[in-house]
Every structure is written in C-alpha cells, then in structure tokens.
Amino acid sequence: NAGVTQTPKFQVLKTGQSMTLQCAQDMNHEYMSWYRQDPGMGLRLIHYSVGAGITDQGEVPNGYNVSRSTTEDFPLRLLSAAPSQTSVYFCASSAALGRSNYGYTFGSGTRLTVV
Amino acid sequence: GNSVTQMEGPVTLSEEAFLTINCTYTATGYPSLFWYVQYPGEGLQLLLKATKADDKGSNKGFEATYRKETTSFHLEKGSVQVSDSAVYFCALSDLAGAGSYQLTFGKGTKLSVIP
C-alpha cells in the first residue's frame, strides 16, 4: 500500500542546474498536483493534472514544467534552478474529479536546496 | 477568489489543555472544508472534513463544525497530548478547471504541546 511516492527525499542543486522530481501513485487517481511549502506561506499550487495527457498551471508555475504520460506518474522538472526555488515540494493525488468531498493523499516531500 | 485564514502560530500548550485553532474562509461556491496535520519531517495527512453546513468532522479527539453563517471551521480538542505536536492546516475544496476540485490551504498553525 505505497500511496504517493516521491523521490528523492533531499537534493542540493547549484544555480542553473536542472533536475526532475519524481512522483508516482498506485491508487489509480486521476488528479495529481505539485505544491511547494515555504515558511509562513502555507502550500502553493505549482501545476496540476486531471488525467494522462492533461496538465495545467497553478498559482506559482514559473520555472517548472510537468507532463503526465501515464496515470501513475507526474514528474516535476526544474529547468534552470534558482535560489528562490529552495523549498519543500509535495506531490498529492486524489480521486476528486467531480467530487468535492475527497481529500488528497500526499507524498512525504522532497527538500530541495539551491545554492 | 478563494482564501483560507488561520490563526497565527506558534501555539504552545501544556498537556491536557484545551485546543482551539481558528479558521475562516472566503469562497465563491459551496466548498468542502478540511483539516490536515503535518508531523515533523512528513507530508500532510487528512485529519477530518465536513462537506455541508452544520456538519461536524471528527477524528482522534479533534472536532470541527462547518459554520456557513460565520464562514468558519475552527479546530478543537478537549485534552491535547505531546503526540499532537504538529503543524495544522485548514483547507477548502472548490470547483476548479476541467471538473476537478482543488484545495486552497491556510498558512498553517504550529502546535507544540509540553509535558
């Protein structure tokens, strides 16, 4: 019963480097999303997807790309890392399409530091 | 747009004290309301939820009542334990694009319970 799996748990990047944060879920959820968590800011939505092949921007999409080739996977790509992207990143999934009362299942997070 | 406002933390209580964390919301629709809890180093977990006015969500001794007239969803517990130390997030779920329901989070309230 894995739920939502995020890798890696920790990562240090140099400014300008690129990387991909992985997210996989085994619950056949249609909805997946990426949030970043910063002190005093709560969680802010980066990108989300309502199914394979469909993605859309959230509140803070700049500097990030996503794709959804399968129901299970929703990777987040940092194209050219900047210190402002230092944060904790959470992936979440839900069976919430069309149903407002479903909660989200969160991964355990990736702590990213850009130096 | 939608927004969630939580009381500022941190909150420090002695074991067995009464807990209230205030949460108010602004929404254009008729949202579902949630409380999530984040233990140190972990992702967010759903604590409780309510989907319509006057509903009471409850779990692990925590309760919250959906008050439409005051647009509030305050979290309460009669007797806190050291193990309740965590960050608590209030959230609402409302209709977004492509038939999906998205969560909007408050900034979180850190609770520390001392023996």
Return the structure tokens found at A55: 């993605």
Across the interface, whether the CB atoms of B89 and A42 are under 8 A apart is answered yes
Nearest to A100 among B41, B97, B101 (CB): B101
Between A and B, how many CB-CB pairs are < 8 A? 67
**Which residues of chain B does A32 touch, with a Cβ-Cβ cutoff of 8 Å?**
none
Select the more confidently predicted residue: B43 or B82: B82
The span from the CA of A36 to the CA of B52, in Å, is 29
Is the model's pLDDT at B97 over the cut of 80? no
Return the structure tokens found at A32: 């997946």
Judge residue B16's burial from the number of C-beta atoms within 10 Å of its C-beta, 0-12 exposed, 13-18 middle, 19 or more buried.
Answer: exposed
Residue carrying structure tokens 């009362």: A101
Closest by Cα among B84, B86, B105 to B94: B105
In the chain, the amino acid numbered A72 is E
| Residue-wise pLDDT tens digits, A3-23 | 999 999 999 999 999 999 999
Task: Return the residue in A100, A102, A105 with the most chain B beta carbons within 10 A, the one to mutate for interface testing.
Answer: A100
Residue of A nearest to B1 (CA): A59
Task: Return the residue in A101, A105, A106, A110 with the most chain B beta carbons within 10 A, the one to mutate for interface testing.
Answer: A101
| Residue-wise pLDDT tens digits, B63-89 | 999 999 999 999 999 999 999 999 999
In the chain, the amino acid numbered B55 is D
